A and B are shown apart, each in its own frame.
Chain A
Amino acid sequence: MVGASLAGLSAARSLRKRGYDGRLVVIGDELHRPYDRPPLSKEFLAGTLGEADLVLETDGEDLQAEWLLGIRATGLDRSERAVRLADGREVRADGVVIATGAAARMLPGAEGLAGVHTLRTLDDARALRDELARGGRLVVIGGGFIGAEVASTAHALGLDVTVVEVAPTPLAGPLGETMGGIVSALHADHGVRLLCGVGVKGLSGERRVDAVLLEDGRSIPADIVVVGVGARPCVDWLEGSGVELDNGVKCGADGRTSLAGVVAVGDCANWYDPRAGAHHRVEHWTGARERPDAAVTTLLAGGVVEPGVPRPPYFWSDQYGVKIQFAGHAAGADSVTVEEGAPGDRNVLAVYRRAGHPVAVLGMNQPRLFMRWRKQLAAATS
């Protein structure tokens, strides 16, 4: 198991549940045991959850695994099926699960400037939480989900917050233009400035950041900057291994890679989605929790099991007290209809359709109806 976050832990659990009783080695580049990342931008950052609350393993859980933590995998030897580690060790295996996740993108040239943060790991979140506690002016670069959640949390903590988004509408990729606009209107509802359609030219400051410089010439004063401009899959270590890479590890619909005995799961894995007829690298928590079971089944069966069609991708986000839920693929839709609620009230159930058939559903504070539609979506497209 290369990767010790949710996808790696879920794969380890599935292996044991499915009767694998051999040696199990879990390799992780962070020092921490598996922890839950969604609260890092929300309750943990706000200080309402502590580190003990993030632990993913349950009390007394023992997977009979050897944990090699704080050590990075640097290569995969296909002939020996061995994982090379940064300290020179090698771990040979009958099967390898690649679950190395993704890393937050940084602005070029921003490294080393104090007050500039990305948010991906527990260590990132600790550092940002400590800075936010001192208050001041926060500029969030990127109006995606991480950026929006950080803005929401920081606003609640009393900071003066500005969000800068290069696209004309934030969240247009995952939610489409119309609903992206409605969801990102939450910022203005709460007095958080949202600047759209303008890129960032750079950051100013000597040792510590003091402003974000925009391409239109404006300068936004900042005590703290959070860069939320997406993540790239951590697959550099697989270059030359024979594992086919294409926007992460290219996988079949069951997690199999181009090498026998090697599967990939989680944020680093670009799975074929039979619903969409295309590969999709899904960075959702639910994908990292659900897909390892299919991948492990493939691994244990030697690649002869045809797994069922997975449920449509699902994710959630909490911003300014509003529960946002989304399932399916917005990209293929040709219409979006508000079926319930009113956008102005930030209380909406919207259905995305293609040629009259539902392909995605969005809820804002509509968990009950959202579940009904999410089930329908799964039934309609399975």
Chain B
Amino acid sequence: MWWDAFDILLQANFWAATIRIATPLIFGVLGALICERAGVLNLGIEGIFVAGAMAGWLAVYLGLSLWGGVVVAALVGAAFGLIHGTLTVPLGLSQHVTGIGVTLLATSAAYFGYRVAFPNVATPPRIEPFPTLDVPLLRDLPFIGPIAGQQTAFTVLAFLCVAVVAFVLARTPLGLSLRAVGDNPEAVEAQGLSVVGLRIGAVMAGSALMALGGAFLTLSAFNAFYFGMINGRGWVCIALTVFASWRPGKALLGALLFGALDAYQLRIQTIAGGMVPSQIFLMLPYLFSIAALVLVARRADYPRALMKPYFKGQR
């Protein structure tokens, strides 16, 4: 039995599932990280996931291409980001309360939209999701080939986003200003830049990425929209952001680690399920999140201006 537990790690299937589970989290953590680097906590993430999942899927169902659906999801996410940003940045409302409000609003709006579009449907209508990749040469590699062969272009987009966000943050004037505005908005203001503009822009961009995390579920991992399908993934991203110390590379690592634990617990259930209640295994990834937070968050280097509203002319 111990061998079986270890053998899981050698199966290409396990690694493919890890990446699949991690993909929406990668989007979510990147989104949360951008918002928080700019100084705004976005607890709207859970609802924005739902809205992104619903909007992307509906757009494709109504006839748009799959990539069209991706764009629609991003725009819907950005719109909710604009709401959160407007309330928390120029108006300076509590970021916690506003974020929870945005989550409730976005979730309800998505469910309502779904019911309006499909008043009398028992089983959710299906779409044709993103096909798996079939790259010559790559598919012939041992081990790697079968793993890559189970992924879709949407996952590739997630990995691209990690690289782009990392580059923008580290190497461009925009990223520099973003990092500065989450640490000391006065410094940004004193250099003639707009604190409000930077922060709202960051919240919109971050929210768009969060919505992509939701859209991945309906456009790639599954092929339909269900109530309750997000199931706390957004909240996990908030925790993973701290775990990642607000760094894109570590965000990728954290998402993959969480994905691996989730994939592993699914498989270990079939081996040890007879002896241990399955709920114990279901808890594992979340126990990991809590443990990681306890270990990492104590010495975490939070952006100094996180959750502190900035008003011009007040020092």
**A, B: real partners:** no
Residues of chain A touching chain B, judged by Cβ–Cβ distance below 8 Å, are none
